[in-house]
C-alpha cells in the first residue's frame, strides 16, 4: 500500500514535468525548422535578384553593341559615323534588336521590353510576354565628330522596389 501511494504521488507530479518537456521540445523543433526555412527563403530571393541583374547587364551590353554596330556599318558604307542615331542624341531612345529598329521614347519614358519564350529574345513585339525590363539609351556628343558617350539604363521592378543598372561607354570616330 505504501508503494501505491508513492506511485500515485509521482504520477501526480510527473504530469506537469511532461507538459514543460513538451513545450520545450516544440520550441526546439520550431526553432530548428524556422532557421533553415528563413535561410532558404533568403537564398531564393538572392538568386532571383542575381538572375535579374545578369539579364539587365546583358540587355545593357546588347544596347551598346547595337550602337557600336551602327557606327561600324556607317563607316563601311561611307555614311556619317552617327548616322541613324539622331533619336538617341536628341533624347532617350529604344533599340529593338530583333527588328533592327531605333525609335524615340515618348516623353523620355521608354516602354517595357517583351520576352519571346520560344526564341529567348527580348524586343517590343506585342505578341511577346511583358518582361518588366525597360531599356533607355542616350548618346551624348563629347567632341564634335570625334567622340560620343553611350549611356544605357535598364530598370526592372523587384520586391516593390525599382532596380536600375546604368552602363556607359565611349565610342570614337575611328574612320575619320
47 three-class SS? helix
Mean pLDDT of 104-108: 86
Please, what is the average pLDDT of the chain?
88
Per-residue pLDDT of 33-80, as tens digits, reads 888 888 988 899 889 999 999 999 999 999 999 999 999 999 899 999
Phi, psi of 38 (to 5 degrees): -65, -45
Residue 95 · residue 102 · CB < 8 Å: yes
Q: What pLDDT shows up at residue 1? A: 55
**What pTM was computed for the model?**
0.79
Per-residue pLDDT of 113-124, as tens digits, reads 999 999 999 999
Per-residue pLDDT of 131-152, as tens digits, reads 999 999 999 998 877 899 999 9
Q: For residue 9, name the pLDDT band (cuts at 50, 70, 90).
A: low
- Higher pLDDT, residue 98 or 12: 98
| Cβ burial, residue 46 (10 Å; 0-12/13-18/19+) | exposed
- Residue 139, number of CB atoms within 10 A of its CB: 23
- Higher pLDDT, residue 31 or 4: 31
Residue 105 · residue 93 · CB < 8 Å: yes
Amino acid at each position: 500500500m505504501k508503494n501505491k501511494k508513492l506511485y500515485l504521488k509521482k504520477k501526480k507530479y510527473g504530469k506537469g514535468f511532461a507538459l514543460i518537456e513538451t513545450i520545450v521540445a516544440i520550441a526546439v523543433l520550431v526553432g530548428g525548422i524556422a532557421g533553415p526555412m528563413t535561410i532558404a527563403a533568403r537564398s531564393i530571393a538572392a538568386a532571383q535578384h542575381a538572375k535579374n541583374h545578369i539579364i539587365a547587364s546583358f540587355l545593357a551590353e546588347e544596347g551598346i553593341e547595337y550602337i557600336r554596330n551602327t557606327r561600324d556599318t556607317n563607316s563601311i558604307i561611307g555614311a556619317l559615323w552617327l548616322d541613324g542615331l539622331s533619336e538617341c542624341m536628341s533624347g532617350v531612345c529604344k533599340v529593338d534588336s530583333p527588328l533592327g529598329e531605333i525609335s524615340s521614347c515618348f516623353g523620355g519614358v521608354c516602354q517595357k521590353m517583351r520576352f519571346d519564350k520560344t526564341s529567348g529574345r527580348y524586343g517590343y513585339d506585342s505578341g511577346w510576354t511583358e518582361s518588366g525590363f525597360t531599356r533607355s539609351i542616350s548618346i551624348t556628343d563629347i567632341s564634335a565628330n570625334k567622340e560620343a558617350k553611350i549611356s544605357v539604363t535598364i530598370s526592372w521592378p523587384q520586391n516593390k522596389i525599382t532596380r536600375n543598372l546604368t552602363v556607359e561607354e565611349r565610342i570614337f570616330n575611328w574612320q575619320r
